[in-house]
Amino acid sequence: MLTFTRNEKRDLIIAFVVLSISFAISNAQLNLHTFISVLPIVMVGVAIGSLVRELGAKFVAVKYGYQAEFKAWPLGLLITFASAFIGIVFAFPGFVQTYADNISDEINGKIAIAGPMANMVLALISIAIAALIFPLKPISDIFTLIYLICTIGFSVNSFLATFNLLPFYTLDGIKVLKWNAKIWIVIFAIAVIMLLMSIGIGAENMVKLIIDAVAI
């Protein structure tokens, strides 16, 4: 069972607020009306995806018997906020600190891969829900809102998974690669395919393709 310290709850709330505002600014730029309109969608479809990544890592660490705690990274939050103004959010809200004197590359890699995989699963769930909701859009604005949240959720979670699997220092990818190169290649390739589909085909077109495929 996951438990959270008072400081951890505070840091999660701070990270959630900064991520929500940053992604909203990225979509709206300096248009206040658009910012207000997109913020609720972003709070559900985007910020939660970023926090799911951190909680996924915490869950696996606790599963292996380690104490783990999410810590907000002030500089990373500043980078996250500043990058929003260029239209691409580099999400560095913080990290899950695992308290262990000696931790193997295997366990460290499994903890690291949990976050991106959580984003990938969330992306697939989002696009599936979007396909189910699509025919109901004309019925109510609520269904339209859920649809928008899910399509944005697919695109953003695909991006977060791919970004964090890059084999660079401080990112999850380098830890996974150090543990098992074959697993990293497979998971990274799947994440990249999902990202390219969200960019090249687009989440809305993917929904239509899914609906057409099911109807056949």
CA–CA dist 89, 83 (Å, integer): 5
- Over residues 159-172, the mean pLDDT reads 86
Question: Which one, of 123, 129, 201, 189, lies nearest residue 155 by Cα?
Answer: 123
Question: Which one, of 115, 111, 120, lies nearest residue 51 by Cα?
Answer: 115
Annotation says 54 is catalytic:
yes
Is residue 60 exposed (0-12), middle (13-18) or buried (19+ Cβ within 10 Å)?
buried
pLDDT of residue 1: 66
pTM: 0.83
CA 122 from chain centre, in angstroms, equals 8
CA–CA dist 131, 211 (Å, integer): 6
3-state secondary structure 149-168: HHHHHHHHHHHHHHHHCCCC
Q: Annotated catalytic residue: which of 8, 54, 69, 204?
A: 54
**118 pLDDT tier (thresholds 50, 70, 90):** very high
Output the CA–CA distances (angstroms, integers) from residue 91 to 8, 27, 29, 77, 161, in the order listed.
Answer: 18, 14, 17, 8, 11
Which tokens is 195 given?
A: 């990202």
pLDDT tens digits for range 43-96: 887 777 877 887 888 889 888 888 888 888 899 899 999 999 988 888 788 878
pLDDT of residue 175: 92
- Over residues 176-190, the mean pLDDT reads 96
Over the chain, what is the mean pLDDT? 88
* Domain ranges for the chain: 6-215
Q: Which residue intervals of the chain are DSSP H helices? A: 6-28, 32-42, 48-63, 74-83, 105-133, 141-164, 172-179, 181-200, 203-215
N- to C-terminal Cα separation, the chain: 43
pLDDT of residue 49: 80
Percentage of the chain modeled with pLDDT above 70:
99
- Over residues 164-168, the mean pLDDT reads 88
